[in-house]
Chains A and B, each alone.
Chain A
Amino acid sequence: EPEVTQTPSHQVTQMGQEVILRCVPISNHLYFYWYRQILGQKVEFLVSFYNNEISEKSEIFDDQFSVERPDGSNFTLKIRSTKLEDSAMYFCASSDTGVGTDTQYFGPGTRLTVL
């Protein structure tokens, strides 16, 4: 069964450093998403991406965040200068149509720890 994969599973970084989280969505999907989950809190939407453009972004997704689909298979989330409060699980998701009853399939997540 196709699945979304994410690397690395755990990333430890120093405050102020740049990190890139990588995702490989399901191959025929066209819509891509990043969510995050701070420990003990709810899963929060960060950004949706379609046709090489951001469709929607949340208030959390400020100028420190960027997303890119550098090739036909990867989807990345970059945090330019990490803060302590960026420590969280980051989930990538993908879906085929992005509308109606389409299903978003989530990856296993990357645990980001900012020291």
Chain B
Amino acid sequence: QKEVEQDPGPLSVPEGAIVSLNCTYSNSAFQYFMWYRQYSRKGPELLMYTYSSGNKEDGRFTAQVDKSSKYISLFIRDSQPSDSATYLCAMKKVSNTGKLIFGQGTTLQVKP
């Protein structure tokens, strides 16, 4: 079983739709959860960072963590064409090395 699993998509939605992106993980040692956005041939850019179960909201973005189910989600409200990118979930254990484990990434296209 892979440590972090993420449906690669692609996911295509109309502008204004609510988007739901998800990752599952197998290692309960993961305590920190991140969502990065990556545009084509660019470096990942941090969108959201959570470290406890529950919801965290930032503008149109909501990150949700359910540690009991080992499941994390990112919701995008009122999606815009500029949201078209690849979304990567990433996780980290409690350690002093900072090693991030990434999911495969989900490619999202928001059509005008």
The total number of A-B Cβ pairs within 8 Å is 68
* Any B CB within 8 A of the CB of A55: yes
* Any B CB within 8 A of the CB of A76: no
CB of A104 within 8 A of CB of B103, answer no
CB of B104 within 8 A of CB of A98, answer no
* Any A CB within 8 A of the CB of B18: no
* Any A CB within 8 A of the CB of B32: yes
CB of A33 within 8 A of CB of B102, answer no
Q: Which residues of A contact B44 (CB under 8 A)?
A: 43, 91, 106
Q: Which residues of A contact B99 (CB under 8 A)?
A: 33, 45, 48, 56, 58
* Any A CB within 8 A of the CB of B98: yes
Which of A13-21, A65-73, A107-115 has 4 or more CB atoms under 8 Å from chain B?
A107-115
Report, as a range, how many residues of chain B touch the other chain.
Answer: 20 to 34
Main secondary structure of the interface of B (DSSP, over half): loop
CB of A55 within 8 A of CB of B96, answer yes
Residue positions of B touching A, CB distance < 8 A: 32, 36, 41-46, 49, 51, 88, 90, 94-105
Main secondary structure of the interface of A (DSSP, over half): strand
Report, as a range, how many residues of chain A touch the other chain.
Answer: 20 to 34
Q: Which residues of A contact B45 (CB under 8 A)?
A: 106
- In the complex, how many angstroms separate the beta carbon of A22 from the nearest chain B beta carbon? 15
- In the complex, how many angstroms separate the beta carbon of B53 from the nearest chain A beta carbon? 15
* Any B CB within 8 A of the CB of A77: no
In Å, the complex CA distance between A113 and B64 comes to 38
- Of residues 80 through 107 on chain A, the ones whose CB sits less than 8 Å from some CB of chain B are 89, 91, 93, 95, 98-107
